[in-house]
Amino acid sequence: MFIASLTIWLICRNMFQKPVTEDAAQCNMQFENEEMAVREKLEPDDALMYEEDLDDEDCGEAEFEETMKLKLLRRIASLASKLREFIGNMIITTGKVVVTILLGSAGMMVPSLTSAVYFFVFLGLCTWWSCCQAFDPLIFSCLCVLMAIFSAGHLIGLYLYQLQFFQEVVPPKDFYARLFGVTSLTQTNCSSTWMIIKNQELHWYHHANPILLLVMYYTLATLIRLWLQEPIVR
């Protein structure tokens, strides 16, 4: 009886443990399959998140580079504006000195009634500055405009006097020609009007006078142009 009972008990035990083991194995297989599926789902998500992180880093680097470029361009623009302002102030300051020197030189190159205007303006400027007085920028600019107009008229008169008609009306050795300081740089010849004959009786300062007037006119015009671009500080 004992042996029969033990045998029956062992058989029943094996019958009940086997399904449990099979069920556990099936559960383990299902769990592993689910875990693999979750991993497969997570791996694309992780890759996508990694790619998004890389894209964010690239965007951040691009924005940083653009910001640095903008800062560099702003600094360059600021330095360029300061340099332009400095050069403009230097040109205006040195332009006043150059204009004063040119006025004195034009007034003394060929003494005449027209050159006396330049000479007296030169004396007035130097006298005023020697008294430690400063010219109002508006007054000085108006004076430069008047001198530019006068020097332009003087140059036109010298140019017209080189024509044969005006030399016949007022001969080169006439009193009025010497009074107004007009000189005939070229001699006229009716038989060969196409030739340019240099006047051998003139000295070097007669030839330098028109060049000096032209330089003075160009300097005055440049200063006036700079003053028109920038308002005068009162």
Binning pLDDT at 50, 70 and 90, where does residue 155 land?
Answer: very high
Please classify residue 155 by burial: count the beta carbons closer than 10 Å to its beta carbon, then call 0-12 exposed, 13-18 middle and 19+ buried.
Answer: middle
Cα pseudo-dihedral 9, 10, 11, 14, rounded to 10: 120
Cβ–Cβ < 8 Å for 118, 107: yes
Stretch among 84-88, 161-165, 203-207, 211-215 having the lowest mean pLDDT: 84-88
Q: Is the pLDDT of residue 233 over 50?
A: no
Q: What's the pLDDT score for residue 227?
A: 80
User: Once rounded to an integer, what is the mean pLDDT over residues 181-194?
Assistant: 74
In this predicted structure, the answer to whether residue 174 has a pLDDT above a threshold of 70 is yes
Kindly state the tokens that stand for 14. 């094996």
- Own/partner contacts of 158-162, CB < 8 Å, gap of 24 or more, are 158/182, 158/183, 158/209, 158/210, 158/213, 162/186
| pLDDT score of 118 more than 90 | yes
pTM of the model: 0.58
Give CA–CA dist 19/37, Å, rounded: 27
| pLDDT given for residue 16 in this prediction | 47
pLDDT > 50? residue 42: no
Rounded to a whole number, what is the distance in angstroms from the first to the last CA of the chain?
134
Q: Which residue, among 174, 102, 126, 118, has the nearest Cα to 150 in the 3D structure?
A: 118
